[in-house]
Amino acid sequence: MEFVQDKEPNVEKPIVIAAMQDMGNVGSIVVNFINSSLKTKTFRIAKIPDPTYVIDMGGYIDLPNESWEYKYTDDLIIFGGGKGQPQSNSDINSLCQDVIDVAKKYSAKFIYTFGGFRTNRVLDNNPKTYITTTSIELTKQMERLNVDTTPQKSIITGFNGLILGFAKKNGIHGIGMYGELNKPDIPQYRAAISIIKTLEKLTYRKLGDTSELEFMAQDIERKFKY
């Protein structure tokens, strides 16, 4: 991995938001929404210098854009979004460690991440967001805010799980938010909306109007009739 920083963000003890594309594109939908709504500014880029695959466009190939941006605004640092995750565990680990290093550099106390939570429950266009945290004590605090915690033991793979492990190892509080979904191969805008509302509740800040995401959710539902 290569990391390039061209400016210093004007932040003080920020909250760090870090999530990448995963099932249902939930992590990237939330991060991209926040960046667009809050008009964040890029200050650092993580990229893979050599491609790990090529894209056949139908008769010719193209190279993937395997890079992800760090952005900032109003004491928030936001990492990720975009398309895909690195193909190797070593690259994912490098990204996680870099997020931690950036968090420490700017004295961040909290890291939030997001993803999808696959379930067979009938959602009726109203998915729940389940949270898990880096400590039992923090989970007990969250329960007092009337949020749902993850219902059973499970393994969370990929960046949107591992970043919590890196946070825990480095003494930074971390909260993972995972929105319910039934079909992980389809963009899940309602799961993303549920996460955004939960994040607003926990951070006491408004992140923006989600009506466009609602429209996109309805469009997906019409196309796939579910």
Q: List the single range of 9-18, 83-92, 197-206 with lowest mean pLDDT.
A: 83-92
Domain that holds residue 45: 2-224
Query: Residue 151: what pLDDT?
Result: 85
Query: Residue 51: what pLDDT?
Result: 78
**Number of compact structural domains in the chain:** 1
Identify which of 170, 32, 20, 51 has the alpha carbon closest to the alpha carbon of residue 103: 170
pTM (predicted TM-score): 0.92
Query: Residue 124: what pLDDT?
Result: 83
Q: Average of pLDDT values for 96-118?
A: 95
The structure tokens listed for 202 are: 């926990």
93 has a pLDDT exceeding 70:
yes
The structure tokens listed for 78 are: 């936001």
Instruction: State phi, psi for 33 to the nearest 5 degrees.
Output: -60, -50
Query: Residue 155: what pLDDT?
Result: 81
226 has a pLDDT exceeding 70:
no
Q: What is the CATH number of the domain that holds 108?
A: 3.40.50.10900
User: Using one digit for the tens of pLDDT, what is the confidence trace for 150-194?
Assistant: 988 878 889 999 999 999 999 999 999 999 999 999 999 999 999
DSSP string, 114-137: EEEEE--S--TT---EEEEESSHH
What percent of the chain lies above the pLDDT cut of 70?
Answer: 99
User: Using one digit for the tens of pLDDT, what is the confidence trace for 68-79?
Assistant: 999 999 899 999
